[in-house]
Amino acid sequence: MNTHLGFYLTNDSNETIELPVNPAEIMVKRESDDKSETVIKLGEVNLLGEDKLQEISIEGSLPLEPKTEHYVSAASLLDSAQDYIDWIESARKLKKPIRLVISTTKISLKSTISSFEYGMKNGYDGEYSYTLSLKEFKPFEAKKIGVKQQPEKTVEARPSPPKKVGMGSTVIVNGLLHRDSQGNGPGLTEQNATRKISLVAPGALYPYHVTTLDGGLRGWVKESDVRST
């Protein structure tokens, strides 16, 4: 069982970093869009609304040279605080959602970076303090409403839907195998290997556990390392 508490960010290109120092606290904000109305002979009542987008605020520190500090908690480190700042800023400027996963918890949130603040406090120049604010991302499509036209009587060939990958699927694997779904214990690399998915961990960094076709254990891999046969 994985007991390592880690804060992982994954960008739109499926690149993942772990924050070097676990924040002392993390706040998850959930609220609904309730409204108050006045009803005759009853007074003010509360009309329950739909859930608003979740918000998460993370406050932490980024050591200037993480690999030389004794208080870091991440299993894998970047070379400098600036590397973390550049990664987060790049993800923010792309205006594409990222995913926050906190291992050993159920927190896994696809979100946008609503704000990122960082600087130095109390005259200490050995680390940056930062506040990272995330807001839940829900995909949607805007549909243009216009005058309905009479459709032409033509028959279009529909493309075959792509094969779904899930538990029991036979797949081709190209990527590094890991001991668990959080990426601990990297091991051998698969190259165009025909494997079978035996376990699925939704929302994990390495969500698919693969075996040989006769059931021999291999390891956990990224979603992008797997394609249907």
Predicted pLDDT at 51: 80
Residue 52: which of 73, 35, 29 has the closest Cα? 29
Residue 219: which of 179, 192, 185 has the closest Cα? 179
Predicted pLDDT at 29: 87
Predicted pLDDT at 21: 96
pLDDT confidence of 153, banded at 50, 70, 90? low
Cα–Cα distance measured from residue 201 to residue 184, given in angstroms and rounded to the nearest whole number: 14
Q: What CATH number is associated with residue 192?
A: 2.30.30
Predicted pLDDT at 49: 76
Predicted pLDDT at 160: 54
Asked if 34 and 4 count as a contact pair (C-beta separation under 8 A), the reply is no
Does residue 224 fall inside a structural domain? yes
Q: What CATH number is associated with residue 60?
A: 2.40.30
Return mean pLDDT, the chain.
Answer: 88
Render pLDDT for 27-65 as a digit per residue (tens, 0 to 9).
888 888 778 777 776 788 777 778 889 999 999 999 999
Domain of residue 184 covers: 170-228
Predicted pLDDT at 152: 65
Does residue 63 fall inside a structural domain? yes
**109 and 185 fall within a common domain:** no
> Which has more confidence, 57 or 24?
57
Residue 53: which of 137, 140, 139, 142 has the closest Cα? 137
